[in-house]
């Protein structure tokens, strides 16, 4: 793990791409129908996604089938890009453009927005991080650097607990405590900045 920032960008970029792909599949299954507006639900009738509010998304296309196909295509493009080409020149900029396309064409709300934030962190790929070494206290750098592998692992687990973990648990148990959903959601969201920051320390050392 020589470049924690690149690993972070690629790994969580993949997670967001797969989440966008899941949204697209739900929209395709709704068929050749027009949405009621810009805001849509990817899985409005699915019991499996009830705990996630039917998976909200948005689209500027007045056809759910077309929206779903575009979401799938952009998700697959993002998936390939973050795993194979993120290190290229303008790789992060392309990731941001693909994420914006996902946002506009049915890829969900959280996945593309978070993907943009993850891409912003990716601008530090292969950067010297001189500012981090000079402005961050040494002891804090060492602590955060040691924390990175644990934060990275915990972040992946938190996102897997959110999806598909929460829907699976509700599907088989019949109900789920809203507080549990909130805790898992906060854990998943909180893992992103913590892993990004600790990744800076890992790379600077």
pLDDT digits (tens, 9 = 90+) for 2-35: 588 889 999 999 999 999 999 999 999 999 999 9
Could you tell me the CA-to-CA distances from 171 to 24, 161, 167 in Å, in that order? 21, 14, 6
Residue spans of alpha helices (H) in the chain: 4-30, 64-84, 91-104, 110-122, 130-135, 138-160, 166-173, 178-204
Q: What are phi and psi of 38, to 5 degrees?
A: -65, -40
**Count of the separate structural domains present in the chain:** 1
**Consecutive H or E run containing 41:** strand 39-41
Q: Which domain holds residue 107?
A: 4-204
Query: How far out from the chain centre does Cα 72 lie?
Result: 15
pLDDT at 72 over 50: yes
Residues 100-140 pLDDT 10s: 999 999 999 999 999 999 998 766 655 555 656 677 788 88
Cα distance between residue 45 and residue 8, in whole Å: 34
Three-class secondary structure of residue 40 per DSSP? strand
């Amino acid at each position: 793990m020589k470049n924690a920032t690149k690993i972070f960008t690629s790994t969580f970029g993949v997670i967001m791409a797969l989440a966008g792909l899941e949204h697209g599949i739900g929209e395709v299954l709704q068929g050749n129908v027009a949405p009621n507006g810009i805001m849509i639900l990817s899985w409005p009738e699915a019991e499996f996604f009830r705990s996630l509010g039917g998976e909200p998304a948005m689209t500027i296309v007045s056809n759910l089938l077309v929206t779903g196909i575009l979401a799938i295509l952009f998700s697959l493009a993002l998936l390939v890009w973050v795993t194979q080409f993120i290190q290229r020149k303008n790789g992060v900029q392309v990731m941001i453009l693909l994420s914006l396309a996902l946002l506009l064409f049915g890829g969900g709300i959280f996945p593309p927005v978070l993907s943009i934030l993850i891409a912003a962190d990716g601008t530090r790929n292969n950067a010297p991080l001189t500012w981090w070494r000079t402005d961050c206290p040494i002891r804090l750098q060492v602590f955060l650097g040691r924390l990175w592998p644990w934060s990275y692992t915990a972040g992946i687990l938190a996102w897997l607990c959110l999806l598909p973990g929460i829907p699976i648990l509700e599907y088989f148990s019949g109900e789920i405590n809203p507080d549990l959903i909130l805790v898992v959601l906060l854990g998943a969201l909180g893992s992103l900045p913590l892993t990004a920051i600790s990744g800076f320390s890992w790379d600077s050392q």
